[in-house]
Structure 1
Amino acid sequence: MGVCTGLDAAYEWSAANAAGEDPIDSPEMQRRVWDRVIDNAERYNQPGVFTAFIGYEWTSGPGSNNLHRNVIFRDNADRTRQVVPFSAFDSDDPEDLWRYLADYEVRTGGRALAIPHNGNLSNGMMSMLETFDGEPFDAEYATARAGYEPLLEVTQSKGTGEAHPLLSPDDAFADFEIMDASNLIGTVPKTPEMLKTEYAREALKLGMAEEVRLGVNPFKFGMVGSTDNHNAIPSTREENWFGKIYYVEPSDHRKDGIFIESAVDPRFSIYDRDLGASGLAAVWATENTREAIWDAMKRREVYATSGTRLRVRVFAGWDFAESEVQLPDFAAEGYARGVPMGGDLRPGPEGASPRFMVRALRDPEGANLDRVQIIKGWVDGNGDLQERIYEVACADREIVDNACAGDVGSTVDIATATYTNDIGRGVLSGWWEDPDFDPSLRASYYVRVIQIPSPRWTAYDAPYFGVKMPEGTAITVRDRAFTSPIWYTP
C-alpha cells in the first residue's frame, strides 16, 4: 500500500493552520520566498509567447474543510513587491482575504482576484449561505465576493465539483469523477445536506436567489479547471498522467496506493485511483499577455475542461438566426449582437426568447464529441430553485424532446487501453431558443460538451504495469468542458 510518509507532517500543519499558528513564523523568510516567486514569474513571462502570472495559493482549511483560493495578480514586480502574501496563518476567513486584496489595490493601484477551488472537499463551506462567523449575508459581503472571486474551479485531480447525482437526479452525466466521502483529509464524513453548498450548479442557483433578497449575486462566477498538481509535471493526458504529487506518479502500486489516509475511517481516505487527470482553464483573451488574460478571467470569458483541450464558444442574443452558427465570422456576430460566456444578457424585445449559438471543436489529439448541452438554472415565481438540461447538438442522431435519441456507444477496448474515433464528431454546433423562457424570472445558462468514451488513466496503467485494477475502479472516462454561464436578469 503506497502511503505518503509526510502525511503526519501534513496533519500537524493542518492543525497549526486551523489554530492560526505558523510553525515557521519568519517574516524574513516569507519576503525572500515571495521575492523568489516574483523573480521566477518575471524571468519566464514573455508577452505574446508565454504568460507567467505572479500569484500564490491561500490555503484556508478550517476543521480540514477545504477553502483554498488561488490569488492571481494582474501586475508586474513593481507592484507585487510592495506586499507579501496574506496567508491562512493571518486568517482563514475569506472576507479577510478580500480585505487584503482591496488594500493591495488601493496601495499599489494594481488588480488581483482569487479563485476558490475544490468546493467538493469543503463539507458544505465553500458556498454556504452565511459568513465565516455564521452571520447572514448582506449586500456588502455579496459585492465583495462577486468582485474578488469572479471564477470558481469546478474540476481538478481531487474530483469534479460541477454537479452531483443527489442534487441533479435527472442528469445522466452528473456522476463524473465524484469525490464526496469526506473533507480534505478525511476527518468528518460528508452528509447529504452539505452537498448543495459545495457544487457549482447549485451555487449558481443559490446566487440568483440571494440576488432576489439582496440585490447582489454573491455567486456570479465563471468556471475553470486546474491540475492542482504538486510535482511540476502538470499533464492532463490520460495516457501520460503523472499524478498529483510525487508518490502518485506512475508505478505498479498506484492501483491501490493511498493519496490521503484518513485518521478516522479508511472509508474516508482518498486513494490514488480516485484521482482524475484533470483539469484545464481555457481563456478567450485578446492576446497572450498577463493583462489580457487576467482581464478575460475577470469578465469570466473562460471555460473549464476535465483535461481535454477541446474548444467551445457560446453567444446569447435576441435575434440570432439558426443559419448564423455556421458563418465563418460567427464569433464576430456573437460579440456584435449578443454576449459571450460570462456575460449578462439584458432584457430583450417584448415576446422574444434568448437565442444561443454554440460551436465546439474536439481536442486534435483526443476523442470525438458526443453532445452539446445547455444547462439552465432559474428561480421560479415561488422562489424555488429549478434546473433543466437541453441537448442542442448530438453526434449522428436526432434530438427528440430536447434530448439525444439514444447513446453514442463506445469503441474502448479495455484490454489494450485503446479506442477509435469511428463514432462521434470532430465538430458540433447548435442553435437553440429557450422554449420555456419567462422574462420575469432570473436565469443562468451554461454549456456542457461531452466527449465519447475513452480509456481513463487507470486503463492505461493496467496493461503497462501488468496489474489488475481493484473492483469498482473507473476504467473509462467521458471528458468534458463546462463554460461560464450567461445570466439573464429581469
Structure 2
Amino acid sequence: MAGAGFAQSYVGDLAINPEDVRLGQQHFSPFVDQAFPNKVFWGDTHLHTSYSTDAGMLGNTLGPDEAFRFARGEKVRGSLGEYAQLVRPLDFLVVADHAENLGLAPMISEANPQLLANPWGREVYQLTKDGNPLAAYVQWGESMMANVDPLDDGDLTRTFYNRIVEAAEHHNLPGVFTAIHGFEWTSSRDANNLHRVVMFRDNADKVADIIPFSNYDSSDPEDLWDWMEAYEARTGGRVMAMPHNGNLSNGLMFNDVRENGEPIDVEYAERRMRWEPLYEVTQIKGDGETHPMLSPNDEFSDYYTWDRGNFGTELKTPEMLPREYARTTLARGLKFEQEIGVNPFKFGMIGSTDSHTSLATAREDNYFGKAALGEPGGGQERYDEYLVQPDFMGEAITVRHYETLAAGLAAAWARENTREAIWDAFKRKEVYATTGPRMTVRVFAGWDFEADEVHRPDFATEGYARGVPMGADLFAGPEGGAPTLMIRALRDPDGANLDRIQVIKGWVDAAGDPQNKVFNVVWAGERETDAEGNLPVIGNTVDGAEYTNTIGTAALGGHWVDPQFDPAQRAYYYVRVLEIPTPSWLAYDEAHFGSLDLPEDAVMEQQERAYTSPIWYSPKD
C-alpha cells in the first residue's frame, strides 16, 4: 500500500510511480521510453491438422496439440512414422483448420454419437471403418462442390472448434510462444480458390463457442466480412482475414468486380482493406509475387509458377494473370484509387505454409510435404501425388506434389511476443514474407536519409523518427525531393548467404496501365550493373544437396533514391531480398533416399527470397 504523499498507479501487477514517467525528456539510458517495434518474430498463420477434412481424411493423424508442440520446437512423429523437428522453434502459430465439417476425421475415429445419429455421418463412418476412407472423402468432396452441408450441425462444429481453442490456450505462453486463434473459410466457387484465413486478436473468453463461418454459409467474401463485423460488435474483439495466394483463383482473387458482379465502389474498397489488410503471397502451392508474362524483364519472376488453371475445372488464360499476382494487383489498386478515391488492394505481404500435415516445415532440408501422403517415407507418392486432379480437364491442368515449394513464413516486427502485439503488427502491415528462410529484413522510406545512415547503429531509431516503415504511407515531401529508402537484410543464421537487395516499384502510367520495375540496390561481390541496371549472376556452389557460403554475404545495407520519381504519380515500393542458389527439397530427398524418378521440369536448385510489405507514396491533393 502506498504511504502518505506517495501515489501509485497499478497496471496489472506493475506499480508505476508517475514521477518516474518523463516522456520526451533525455535519460542516460537511450532505451527508456523507446516504443517502436524492435524484434522480428517468426510464424505460420496457415497450418492444418487432422481436424481439416482434407487432411484428416487423407492420412493426417496429428491434431492441434501436436501442431503447437512441433511449432514450439518439440520432436513430433509424423503421420507416416518419420520424426520431425524444427531447427529453431517458431514464435507464433495459427492452426487454421477448414471450417467446413471441421473435425470430421476425429469424429469418425471416436465414433462420435452425434455423427452416428446423422444418416450421412453414419455412411462415411462405415465407409472408413470398412477400409475405404478415400470413398468417404470423395463423398464429402461432392457435398463441398455442391455447397451443401451434409451434416448441418452447428453444435458438432462448435464442439470440435472448441478443442482447437483449448489447445491454443494450453500452449499460449506470452513472451515465449503465441498460439493465435483462427480458422479457414474455404470459398471455392466453381473450383476457384478464394480461401481466407481468419485470425483473431482475442483470447478464449471471446472466441470460444463461435461457429466458424464456412463456405456452406456463403462463397462471397463480403458475407464473411459481415460475419466478422458482427463478431466484433458482439464481443468487442478484433479479427482480420488473409486471402491465399491467388494462383488457383483464375483471376477472381483480385477481380475488377465484386463477387456479385457489381463494380468496385468506395464502400467495397474501404471494407476490403479494413477486413483484409494482408495477402499470403507465398506458400506450398506456388509463389504469388509475380509471373513472367507480367514481369518479362524480371529474371527472377518465374519462381514456382502455378499457372495451369484452378482446382481442375478451367484452364488458365492470360487475361486472368493480372488479377492473381501481387505485383500487378498492387499497381491496379493505385489505379482504383485514382478513379474512386480508395485503394481496394492496399495489402501487406506475408508467407505461410498451408501444410496439411500439422507440421510447419518451411525449410527445403526439412520438408514434410503438403499432405500426409507426401511426407518422407511415402515412396513415389511423395512426388506423384495429385494436388490438382486431371479428372475434368486432363493432364494439361494437373499439378503434382513434386512441384510444391517448401514455403513459407510470416515475419512480424513487434516489441513482444503476444497475441495482441503480433496481431497489431499484422494490422499495421509491418510484416513480410519469406519462402522459408528466416532472413531479417527492414526498410524505411523518407525524404532526407543519407547514404551512410544505413550503417548507423541506431538505424531503426532514425528510420521511425524521420520516415515510415514497411506497410505505411509516405506522403508528398519537399519540392525537388524523391522517396529515399534505407534497407537492411541479414541472412538466416542457419541458412545461406545473401545475393542482393532489390526494390520493386509500381505505378500507373499516363494511359492508365499498371507498370512495375525492378531496381538492384546493393549486392554481394565485385559485380557491376550494365547500362540497363541488370546485374550478373552471383555464381553457384550447389552440388547435389550441398552448397557453401563462399559466395554472397551475411549482411547487406542499401540506400536507394527513386531515379524516376514523379511527385504527381502514386506509387508503391517493396523490397525483395534474394539468397545465393541453394538445393531444393527434391535435391535433399535424392541425397537421402537415392536416385529419384522425377520429371525433367523438377526444380533441383533455387534462390530463396523475402518480400516486404510495400510502402505507398501519395501525392498532394
TM-score normalised according to structure 1 size: 0.96
Residue number in structure 2 paired with 1:442: 570
Structure 2 gap ranges (5+): 1-57, 59-131
SS in 2 for 1:284: strand
Which of 603, 606, 621 matches 1:474? 603
For 2:133 and 2:259, locate their aligned partners in 1 and report how far apart those are by CA, in whole Å: 30
Shift of the 214–9 alpha-carbon distance from structure 1 to 2, 3 Å rule, reads farther
Task: Please state if 1:459 is matched with 2:587.
Answer: yes
Residue number in structure 2 paired with 1:188: 314
Task: Please state if 1:122 is matched with 2:249.
Answer: yes
Q: Which string of whole-angstrom CA distances, capped at 9 and with x for unpartnered residues, describes residues 452-489 of structure 1? A: 11100011112321223322211001100000000001
Query: 1:17 deviation in Å?
Result: 3.0
Residue number in structure 1 paired with 2:176: 49
Greater Cα offset, 264-273 or 249-258: 249-258
Task: Please state if 1:101 is matched with 2:101.
Answer: no
For 2:566 and 2:145, locate their aligned partners in 1 and report how far apart those are by CA, in whole Å: 46
Residue number in structure 1 paired with 2:359: 233
Task: Please state if 1:324 is matched with 2:463.
Answer: no
For 2:191 and 2:152, locate their aligned partners in 1 and report how far apart those are by CA, in whole Å: 21
Q: Which string of whole-angstrom CA distances, capped at 9 and with x for unpartnered residues, describes residues 235-260 of structure 1? A: 11111111011000123312333334
SS in 1 for 2:179: coil
Residue number in structure 1 paired with 2:156: 29
Are the equivalent residues in 2 in contact too, given 1:300–1:342 (CA < 8 A)? yes
Q: Which string of whole-angstrom CA distances, capped at 9 and with x for unpartnered residues, describes residues 320-352 of structure 1? A: 011000001101110111000000001101111
Q: Which string of whole-angstrom CA distances, capped at 9 and with x for unpartnered residues, describes residues 391-430 of structure 1? A: 101110234447354110100012xx10111111110110
For 2:339 and 2:136, locate their aligned partners in 1 and report how far apart those are by CA, in whole Å: 44
Shift of the 216–82 alpha-carbon distance from structure 1 to 2, 3 Å rule, reads farther
Greater Cα offset, 85-94 or 29-38: 29-38
Shift of the 460–272 alpha-carbon distance from structure 1 to 2, 3 Å rule, reads same
Greater Cα offset, 454-463 or 476-485: 454-463
Query: 1:384 deviation in Å?
Result: 2.0
For 1:18 and 1:205, locate their aligned partners in 2 and report how far apart those are by CA, in whole Å: 33
Residue number in structure 1 paired with 2:271: 144
Residue number in structure 1 paired with 2:105: none
For 1:403 and 1:393, locate their aligned partners in 2 and report how far apart those are by CA, in whole Å: 11
Task: Please state if 1:204 is matched with 2:333.
Answer: no
Are the equivalent residues in 2 in contact too, given 1:391–1:402 (CA < 8 A)? no
Map 1:154-193 to 2 at 5 A: 154-184=281-311, 186-193=312-319
Residue number in structure 2 paired with 1:58: 185
For 2:486 and 2:143, locate their aligned partners in 1 and report how far apart those are by CA, in whole Å: 50
TM-score normalised according to structure 2 size: 0.76
For 1:464 and 1:219, locate their aligned partners in 2 and report how far apart those are by CA, in whole Å: 43
For 2:141 and 2:310, locate their aligned partners in 1 and report how far apart those are by CA, in whole Å: 12
AA aligned opposite 1:408: I
Between the two proteins, the alignment pairs up a number of residues equal to 485
Shift of the 322–411 alpha-carbon distance from structure 1 to 2, 3 Å rule, reads same
SS in 2 for 1:203: helix
Map 1:243-392 to 2 at 5 A: 243-251=369-377, 252-253=379-380, 254-264=382-392, 265-392=394-521
Are the equivalent residues in 2 in contact too, given 1:256–1:470 (CA < 8 A)? no
Question: What is the aligned-residue identity percentage?
Answer: 54
For 1:439 and 1:7, locate their aligned partners in 2 and report how far apart those are by CA, in whole Å: 59
AA aligned opposite 2:376: P
Greater Cα offset, 251-260 or 479-488: 251-260
SS in 2 for 1:316: strand
Shift of the 205–455 alpha-carbon distance from structure 1 to 2, 3 Å rule, reads same
For 1:383 and 1:24, locate their aligned partners in 2 and report how far apart those are by CA, in whole Å: 49
Are the equivalent residues in 2 in contact too, given 1:392–1:399 (CA < 8 A)? no
Shift of the 259–405 alpha-carbon distance from structure 1 to 2, 3 Å rule, reads closer
For 1:326 and 1:399, locate their aligned partners in 2 and report how far apart those are by CA, in whole Å: 23
For 2:238 and 2:476, locate their aligned partners in 1 and report how far apart those are by CA, in whole Å: 31
Whose radius of gyration is greater, 1 or 2?
2
SS in 2 for 1:52: strand
Are the equivalent residues in 2 in contact too, given 1:444–1:488 (CA < 8 A)? yes
Are the equivalent residues in 2 in contact too, given 1:394–1:404 (CA < 8 A)? no
For 1:370 and 1:390, locate their aligned partners in 2 and report how far apart those are by CA, in whole Å: 14
SS in 2 for 1:107: helix
Are the equivalent residues in 1 in contact too, given 2:351–2:409 (CA < 8 A)? yes
Shift of the 8–351 alpha-carbon distance from structure 1 to 2, 3 Å rule, reads farther
AA aligned opposite 1:50: F
Are the equivalent residues in 1 in contact too, given 2:158–2:209 (CA < 8 A)? no
For 1:18 and 1:438, locate their aligned partners in 2 and report how far apart those are by CA, in whole Å: 49
Task: Please state if 1:410 is matched with 2:540.
Answer: yes
For 2:611 and 2:408, locate their aligned partners in 1 and report how far apart those are by CA, in whole Å: 11
SS in 2 for 1:160: coil
RMSD: 1.6
For 1:219 and 1:24, locate their aligned partners in 2 and report how far apart those are by CA, in whole Å: 36
For 2:307 and 2:605, locate their aligned partners in 1 and report how far apart those are by CA, in whole Å: 20
Query: 1:218 deviation in Å?
Result: 0.5
Are the equivalent residues in 2 in contact too, given 1:241–1:277 (CA < 8 A)? yes
Map 1:78-97 to 2 at 5 A: 78-81=205-208, 83-97=210-224
Are the equivalent residues in 1 in contact too, given 2:175–2:416 (CA < 8 A)? yes
AA aligned opposite 1:67: L
Query: 1:88 deviation in Å?
Result: 1.0
Query: 1:18 deviation in Å?
Result: 4.3
Are the equivalent residues in 2 in contact too, given 1:392–1:402 (CA < 8 A)? no
For 1:301 and 1:406, locate their aligned partners in 2 and report how far apart those are by CA, in whole Å: 32
Are the equivalent residues in 2 in contact too, given 1:204–1:377 (CA < 8 A)? yes
Are the equivalent residues in 2 in contact too, given 1:324–1:330 (CA < 8 A)? yes
SS in 1 for 2:173: coil
SS in 2 for 1:370: strand
Shift of the 480–7 alpha-carbon distance from structure 1 to 2, 3 Å rule, reads farther
SS in 2 for 1:92: coil
